[in-house]
């Protein structure tokens, strides 16, 4: 049975989004803010790891403004639309102000990369930014979410109603018996998927 569950592994892994996002302030803001927020969560390290001889923590993204602009690009007709660096900076500053991220510019002097604003002086070359998602562990730990048999907390969900309607009962039986139906992974299954995904 375990091999059946792991057979259809989706490459590049996954991340969690809490349903409470629909009630959050970012959801009511400009859609570019939401898109950038999701891009950051999706590109953050899901585990502490080492890249290019440097250690990075879970929930961190090391990137550049150009890489973010490219990551948020979309097609409109025959042209590609990219947000400006100014738009990206403004949104990142808003996320810092809201307490959702911490942002530190990375600068380089000869063979040394500096990631602390207190160490920076004039003459250092900009090489990128290190962004830390403040509550990454809280929202990306599956055990922190409450569970029901269908993955919803909504008490009025038709799956939770004890109805005498035969159509509802037939649909529930069919949905339970289908293979490949979306379901909640156990924490162990999620850890196993993360192990296979690397950094």
pLDDT for residue 80 is more than 90: yes
- Give per-residue pLDDT as tens, 108-165: 765 555 555 544 445 567 788 999 999 998 899 888 888 765 555 554 444 333 344 4
- Give per-residue pLDDT as tens, 109-123: 655 555 555 444 455
pLDDT for residue 172 is more than 50: no
Confidence of residue 168 (pLDDT cuts 50, 70, 90): very low
Domains of the chain are 18-135 (1.10.10.10)
Distance in angstroms (rounded) separating the CA atoms of residues 33 and 126: 24
Q: What does pTM read for this prediction? A: 0.65
């Amino acid at each position: 049975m375990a091999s059946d569950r792991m057979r259809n592994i989706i490459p590049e892994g996954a991340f969690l989004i809490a349903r409470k996002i629909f009630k959050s302030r970012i959801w009511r803001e400009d859609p570019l803010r939401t898109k950038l927020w999701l891009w950051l969560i999706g590109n953050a390290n899901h585990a502490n790891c080492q890249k290019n001889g440097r250690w990075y923590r879970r929930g961190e993204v090391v990137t550049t403004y150009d890489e973010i602009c490219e990551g948020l690009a979309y097609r409109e007709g025959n042209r590609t639309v990219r947000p400006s660096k100014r738009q990206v900076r403004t949104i990142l500053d808003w996320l810092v102000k809201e307490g959702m991220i911490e942002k530190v510019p990375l600068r380089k002097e000869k063979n040394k990369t500096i990631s602390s604003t207190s160490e920076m002086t004039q003459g250092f070359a900009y090489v990128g930014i290190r962004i830390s998602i403040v509550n990454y562990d809280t929202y990306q730990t599956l055990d922190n979410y409450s569970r029901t048999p269908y993955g919803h907390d909504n008490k009025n969900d038709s799956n939770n109603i004890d109805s005498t309607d035969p159509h509802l009962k037939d649909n529930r039986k069919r949905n339970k018996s289908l293979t490949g139906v979306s379901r909640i992974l156990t924490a162990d299954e999620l850890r196993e998927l993360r192990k296979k995904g690397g950094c």
